[in-house]
């Protein structure tokens, strides 16, 4: 503690921010499976890339771009072709994604789902009961219209005076209630139509056209995915996990513009284009969820599924002006022990020796103050609003730790309402770093989602579900930027 304060004072006097290179821990030494990729001149990212050993025969069978071997019998080929045709006729894994998104000038959002409704039993409720994970049909109705239907008119129209019996027809005409005033038809500010078919299939580790991408958040590194990388690589999956700029063993440029959302997103775009297969699954944590959303939006044909772990709500990113991370880097350097302790307390459900060892082994929150300040200040992404997320047609698994103090549960619940194909799972014993606290639970949950394939044999007509007045008030509160304490 005293050493860090002394170093911070020296940094202020010298006008420097301390060491600009984040050294890797011993477990992150460059061995087999680690690569250094230059995404831009002088901008090098460390990437852990594990390619499982597969028999040559398996590779040839699983690669859809190659033809069958000539030594296979013609009868077997005909049988496989018949199976594919039958599967295509039955619908198989082809889902019709049809959605209409309307944005009005008052900020109101109306989502109409008109395509297929999925049925799945992949997830379970907290009480252990099976939860049918159907597509959520959400309509954010106009609050004024809902309130008018619930609340009586404070100024009712006066009743007409009683007429004499001599004016029979005239009195009857006068007693007819006046027609309600016509409401002006609102003009939408923006309308987005989605009409496409998406093929969703089971992704097995033995299939050569499947790759898993793991993206960490602020202050993390690829090492926070250690349990997941080992688990899925043993199952035969090809896994890719990069260190963001300034994190882990990647280079740390001493310019704040290198850590904006757009700069980091372009880095991950380069990594994705380098290692992507035909079917790719993106797994993001915290701030890394935004980059996974960006890639899924940019490459809808290549991104097969997405996992969002404690990512927050579908709101545009905007840095907070009143944040501790706006302090000078030298001050943050002095406060680094306090910040690390705060992250341990808020990021883990328990603060025992095991959690401290996980934090140290995962190389989490081990970045320079300059990088930390630039990362938090660079979280500006106005395009990533509700409409941006509602346009996604990829199946998404939402994982939330019950004791997460960084991301409230209602944010992930709102994300599940906005997304088209969303499955929300809450892990009761986990917090923000749930993949490190509960690795077995997270690995099992992710693997089930990878193997999940929609059952389109049961199709239900999509019905819009209007929400109540109280819910409308909550959903139409002024947009708040996503919390930056990630």
Task: Report the catalytic residues.
Answer: 286, 404, 432
Report d(CA 303, CA 308) in Å as an integer: 14
Q: Give Cβ neighbours of residue 152 (< 8 Å, ≥ 6 apart).
A: none
Report d(CA 420, CA 425) in Å as an integer: 16
Backbone angles phi, psi at 195, to 5 degrees: -145, 100
Q: Is 457 helix (H, G, I), strand (E, B) or coil?
A: coil
Residues 476/276, Cβ–Cβ less than 8 Å: no
Could you tell me which of 215, 194, 142, 200 has the C-alpha nearest to residue 390?
A: 194
Q: Tell me the β-bridge partners of 426.
A: 400
Residue 306, token pair as written in the block: 């997405």
Residue 72, token pair as written in the block: 């296979």
Residue 36, token pair as written in the block: 């250094």
Residues 390/420, Cβ–Cβ less than 8 Å: yes
Report d(CA 229, CA 213) in Å as an integer: 10
Residues 294/266, Cβ–Cβ less than 8 Å: no
Report d(CA 232, CA 478) in Å as an integer: 41
Residue positions counted in the chain: 486
Q: At what angle do helices 261-275 and 287-298 cross, to 10 degrees?
A: 60
DSSP label of 459: -
| CB-neighbour burial class of residue 361 (10 A; exposed 0-12, middle 13-18, buried 19+) | middle
Kindly write down the DSSP assignment for every residue of 161-218, as one continuous string: PPPPTT-HHHHHHHHSPPPPPPPPPPPEEEEEEEEEEEE-----TT-TTEEEEEE--T
Report d(CA 293, CA 215) in Å as an integer: 11
Q: How far is CA 31 from CA 271, 364, 458, in A?
A: 19, 20, 49
Q: How far is CA 199 from CA 59, 92, 297, 303, in A?
A: 22, 8, 16, 11
């Amino acid at each position: 503690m005293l050493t860090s304060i002394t170093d911070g004072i020296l940094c202020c006097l010298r006008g420097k921010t301390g060491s600009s290179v984040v050294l890797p821990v011993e477990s992150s030494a460059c061995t087999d499976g680690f690569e250094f990729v230059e995404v831009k001149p002088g901008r090098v990212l460390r990437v852990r890339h594990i390619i499982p050993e597969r028999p040559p025969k398996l590779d040839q069978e699983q690669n859809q771009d190659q033809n069958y071997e000539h030594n296979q019998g013609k009868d077997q080929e005909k049988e496989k072709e018949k199976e594919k045709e039958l599967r295509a006729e039955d619908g198989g894994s082809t889902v019709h994604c049809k959605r209409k998104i309307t944005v009005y000038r008052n900020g109101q959002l109306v989502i109409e789902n008109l395509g297929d409704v999925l049925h799945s039993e992949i997830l379970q409720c907290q009480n252990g009961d099976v939860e049918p994970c159907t597509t959520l049909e959400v309509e954010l109705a106009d609050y004024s219209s809902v309130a008018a239907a619930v609340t009586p008119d404070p100024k009712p129209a006066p009743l007409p005076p009683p007429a004499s019996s001599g004016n029979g027809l005239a009195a009857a005409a006068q007693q007819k209630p006046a027609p309600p005033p016509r409401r002006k038809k609102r003009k939408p500010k923006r309308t987005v139509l989605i009409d496409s078919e998406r093929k969703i299939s089971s992704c097995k580790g033995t299939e050569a056209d499947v790759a898993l991408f793991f993206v960490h958040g602020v202050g993390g590194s690829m090492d926070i995915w250690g349990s997941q990388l080992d688990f899925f690589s043993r199952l035969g999956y090809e896994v890719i996990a990069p260190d963001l700029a300034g994190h882990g063993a990647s280079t740390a440029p001493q310019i704040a513009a290198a850590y904006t959302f757009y700069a980091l997103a372009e880095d991950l775009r380069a990594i994705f284009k380098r290692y992507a297969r035909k079917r790719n699954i993106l797994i993001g944590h915290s701030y890394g969820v935004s980059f996974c959303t960006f890639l899924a939006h940019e490459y809808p044909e290549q991104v097969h599924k997405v996992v969002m772990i404690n990512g927050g709500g579908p709101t545009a990113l905007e840095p907070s002006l009143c944040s501790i991370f706006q302090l000078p880097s030298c001050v943050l350097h002095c406060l680094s022990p306090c910040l690390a302790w705060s992250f341990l307390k808020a990021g883990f459900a328990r603060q025992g020796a095991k959690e401290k060892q996980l934090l140290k082994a995962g190389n989490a929150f081990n970045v320079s103050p300059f990088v930390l300040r630039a990362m938090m200040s660079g979280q500006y992404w106005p395009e990533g609003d509700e409409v941006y997320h509602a346009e996604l047609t990829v199946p998404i698994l939402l994982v939330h730790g019950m004791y997460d103090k960084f991301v409230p549960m209602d944010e992930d619940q709102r994300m599940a309402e906005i997304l088209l194909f969303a499955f929300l799972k809450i892990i009761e014993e986990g917090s923000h770093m749930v993949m490190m606290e509960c690795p077995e639970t997270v690995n099992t949950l992710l693997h089930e989602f990878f193997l999940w394939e929609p059952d389109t044999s049961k199709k239900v007509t999509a019905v819009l579900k209007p929400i109540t007045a109280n819910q409308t008030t909550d959903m139409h509160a002024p947009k708040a930027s996503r919390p930056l304490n990630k």
